[in-house]
Amino acid sequence: GAVVSQHPSRVICKSGTSVKIECRSLDFQATTMFWYRQFPKQSLMLMATSNEGSKATYEQGVEKDKFLINHASLTLSTLTVTSAHPEDSSFYICSAEGSRGQREQYFGPGTRLTVT
């Protein structure tokens, strides 16, 4: 149980285009999902917290107009990187926390974004 999927696993896009990454909880309902960014050989940095049916809460320094987050259902959150630039190239990981008060987060496999 507690499986989280991400799609796509890898994406290459041209500078200036937008990319959407999906995060799904496959076997549980996730009231809260989190989006992280990981640079090579570094830890995960929380970008935003997404609650189903409400606006996402962004961490300081994260541009909400650039990284659009939608949590339309209890099993799906999406991150859209708008007008992507090469410096947005990174490994993006989502996680989900179950609605039963589970304290741990379950992580997706990540999406490698490369902006050329």
Q: Is 43 in the site for other proteins (CB under 8 A)?
A: yes
The residue among 49 and 70 lying less far from other proteins, judged by its C-beta, is 49
Does a cis peptide bond (omega within 30 degrees of 0) precede residue 8? yes
Binder to other proteins among 42, 73, 83, 116 (CB under 8 A)? 42
101 torsion bin: left (phi>0), alpha (psi -120 to 50), beta (else): left
Q: Are the C-beta atoms of residues 60 and 36 closer than 8 Å to each other?
A: no
Contact between 90 and other proteins by CB under 8 A: the answer reads no
Contact 116, 86 (CB under 8 A): yes
Shortest separation between residue 10's beta carbon and other proteins, angstroms: 9
Interaction site with other proteins (CB under 8 A): 4, 6, 32, 34, 42-44, 46, 49, 91, 93, 95, 97, 103-110, 112
